[in-house]
């Protein structure tokens, strides 16, 4: 049985950690590699770095982060943000990232998912989907949640799975930053629609929220940022809470 994964996410801009509240206001809170090392020691199962202001000159800083992380932190980590080409992916993997995550560029160029999966293997290609509820469905948004993509989230999830994505990082825009729990319905629907693992994201505020998302959906992992970042709960506390309630987690 696979353990359910707890994944802290670090939003990085210009080599520094920030966390967006509803994707907009940003607060600076530290060095990404140091922060990642703390999470590694606390028992994180993986780490996600999201380079939220990826531009050409910033690309170098995230490669440095990847390199330093790979040398110090012996758990897997994913880098996302601003990845547009096979070459971008090749570089990040070369610098030590285990997986890369693509969002807007997958929507604009779906063949990138296919080509990347063929070139590097599905296991390192994560497609991030930012979804927002509209009436009875969820719509995909791109450009950091600012622009509707004109795609239904469930259909898009199926499509990227067919194209060869290894995992889906599913963020609820409605829930992100609210701390009132994951979007259980969205996560449930998507995780039942595809065979690849789903990482639930957006809304974690208490240990119970993690319990809910694992109990009520087929999510394989739960990602969170601010709950860990501002020290409200440690990863260990959350894992103990889950273990006591018979959710399979890795606790050494």
Partner 1 sequence: MIAVVDYGLGNLRSVSKALEVNNVKVKVTDNPSDISDAKAIVLPGVGAFFKGMENLRNLNLLEIIIKNVEKGKPFLGICLGLQLLFTRSFEHKVSKGMDIFKGEVVKFLKAPKIPHIGWNRLNLKKNSKVFEGIPSNSYFYFVHSYYVKPKEDVVLATTFCGEEFPSAVAKDNIFGVQFHPEKSGKWGLKFLSNFVKLVNAG
Q: Does 180 bind partner 1 (CB under 8 A)?
A: no
d(CA 138, CA 104): 16
Q: Does 87 bind partner 1 (CB under 8 A)?
A: no
Q: Does 91 bind partner 1 (CB under 8 A)?
A: no
| 167 versus 176: smaller Cβ distance to partner 1 | 167
Q: Does 93 bind partner 1 (CB under 8 A)?
A: yes
| 114 versus 179: smaller Cβ distance to partner 1 | 114
| 7 versus 173: smaller Cβ distance to partner 1 | 7
Give the DSSP H or E segment for 125.
strand 125-134
Q: Does 1 bind partner 1 (CB under 8 A)?
A: yes
Q: Does 118 bind partner 1 (CB under 8 A)?
A: yes
Q: What dihedral do alpha carbons 6, 159, 185, 46 form, nearest 10°?
A: 0
Residue 171, strand partner residues: 130, 201
88, 130, 176, 183: which is the annotated catalytic residue? 130
Residue 21, strand partner residues: 25
| Residues 39 and 235: beta-carbon distance below 8 Å | yes
Q: Which of 57, 87, 136, 252 binds partner 1 (CB under 8 A)?
A: 252
Active site residue 152: no
**Chain centre to alpha carbon of residue 161:** 16
Helix (H, G, I), strand (E, B) or coil at 126: strand
| Residues 233 and 227: beta-carbon distance below 8 Å | yes
Q: Does 197 bind partner 1 (CB under 8 A)?
A: yes
Q: What are the φ and ψ backbone dihedral angles of 157, each rounded to 5 degrees?
A: -60, -45
By CB under 8 A, what part of segment 201-240 binds partner 1? 220-221
| Residues 129 and 148: beta-carbon distance below 8 Å | no
Q: Does 172 bind partner 1 (CB under 8 A)?
A: no
Active site residue 28: no
Q: Which residues participate in catalysis according to the annotation?
A: 11, 130
For partner 1, the binding residues (CB under 8 A) are 1-3, 5, 40, 43, 45, 67, 70-72, 74-76, 93, 95-98, 118, 120-124, 166-167, 195-197, 220-221, 250, 252
């Amino acid at each position: 049985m696979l353990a359910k994964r707890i994944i802290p996410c670090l939003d990085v801009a210009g080599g520094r950690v920030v966390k967006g509240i509803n994707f907009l206001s940003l607060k600076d809170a530290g060095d990404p590699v140091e922060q990642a090392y703390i999470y590694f020691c606390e028992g994180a199962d993986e780490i996600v770095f999201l380079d939220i202001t990826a531009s050409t000159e910033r690309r170098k800083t995230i490669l440095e982060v990847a390199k330093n992380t790979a040398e110090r932190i012996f758990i897997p980590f994913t880098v996302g943000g601003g990845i547009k080409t096979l070459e971008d992916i090749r570089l990040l993997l070369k610098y030590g990232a285990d997986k890369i995550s693509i969002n807007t560029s997958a929507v604009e160029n779906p063949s990138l998912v296919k080509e990347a999966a063929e070139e590097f293997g599905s296991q390192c290609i994560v497609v991030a989907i930012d979804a927002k509820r509209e009436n009875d469905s969820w719509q995909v948004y791109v450009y950091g949640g600012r622009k509707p993509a004109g795609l239904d989230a469930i259909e898009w999830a199926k499509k990227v799975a067919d194209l060869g994505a290894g995992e889906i990082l599913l963020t609820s825009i409605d829930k992100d930053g609210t701390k009132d729990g994951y979007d259980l319905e969205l996560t449930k629907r998507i995780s039942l629609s595809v065979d690849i693992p789903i990482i639930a994201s957006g809304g974690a505020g208490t240990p119970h929220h993690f319990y809910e998302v694992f109990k009520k959906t087929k999510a394989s992992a739960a990602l969170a940022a601010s709950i860990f970042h501002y020290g409200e709960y440690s990863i260990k506390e959350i894992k103990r809470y889950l273990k006591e309630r018979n959710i399979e987690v890795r606790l050494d």
